Amino acid sequence: METLKVSAHSKTKALAGALAAVIRTDGAVELQAIGAGAVNQAIKAIAVARGYVAPNGINLVVIPSFVEISIENEERTAIKFRVEPRSN
Cβ neighbours of residue 11 closer than 8 Å, sequence gap 6 or more: none
Of the candidates 76, 47, 44, the one whose C-alpha atom is nearest the C-alpha of residue 60 is 47
Report in angstroms the alpha-carbon separations of 10 from 1, 35, 45, 69, 76.
20, 13, 9, 19, 19
Number of compact structural domains in the chain: 1
Could you list the residue range(s) of the whole structural domain that residue 10 is in? Answer: 2-85
User: Per-residue pLDDT averaged across 50-76, rounded?
Assistant: 93
Q: Give the CA-trace dihedral at 40, 46, 50, 51, to 10 degrees.
A: 50
Report in angstroms the alpha-carbon separations of 41 from 7, 65, 81, 82.
7, 16, 12, 15
pLDDT in tens, 5-62: 999 999 999 999 999 999 999 999 999 999 999 999 999 999 999 999 999 899 999 9
CATH of the domain at 78: 3.30.110.20
